């Protein structure tokens, strides 16, 4: 990450390169649930450690699963 540039610096931990352990697909409910809090909120990048690309995939997958009532919107 660009640590020199104050405007775009990510606070918290240093950039990590965590890759998803499973497919970020709306049908993969057990894995998506592991990336959500018990109240079904999506964990932030700081917590998942995903790249921006993977985090967006996660967001999309979870929102699709919510639409199909596979995961609740709230607890």
Partner 1 sequence: MKTYEAMLLLDNREVKKGWDSLKEKVDGVFKKHGAEIIVAKRWDERKLAYEIKKQRRATYYLAYIKASPDSLAKLNFDFKLAEPVLRHLLLKVDEVPAEAFEPEKEFQVEASTEEETGASEKTEKPEEELTSEGESLAVDVVAEVVSASEVEVIEESVEGSTEASLEAEDEGSSPLSEGETKND
In the complex, the residues that contact partner 1 under the rule CB under 8 A are 26-27, 64, 66-73
- Nearest-approach distance from CB 51 to partner 1, in angstroms: 20
| Nearer of residues 10 and 60 to partner 1, judged by Cβ | 60
Radius of gyration of the chain (CA): 14
| Nearer of residues 53 and 69 to partner 1, judged by Cβ | 69
- Nearest-approach distance from CB 15 to partner 1, in angstroms: 29
Q: Using alpha carbons only, give the angle 11, 33, 68 rounded to the nearest 5 degrees.
A: 115
- Nearest-approach distance from CB 28 to partner 1, in angstroms: 11
Please name the residues in contact with 6: beta carbons below 8 A apart, sequence gap of 6 or more.
Answer: none
Between CA 15 and CA 3 the distance in angstroms is 10
């Amino acid at each position: 990450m660009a640590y020199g540039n104050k405007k775009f610096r990510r606070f918290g931990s240093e950039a990590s390169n965590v890759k998803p352990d499973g497919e970020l697909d709306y049908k993969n409910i057990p894995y998506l649930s592991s990336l959500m809090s018990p109240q079904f909120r999506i964990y932030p990048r700081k917590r998942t450690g995903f790249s921006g690309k993977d985090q967006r995939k996660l967001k999309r997958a979870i929102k699709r699963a919510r639409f199909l009532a596979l995961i609740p919107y709230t607890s």
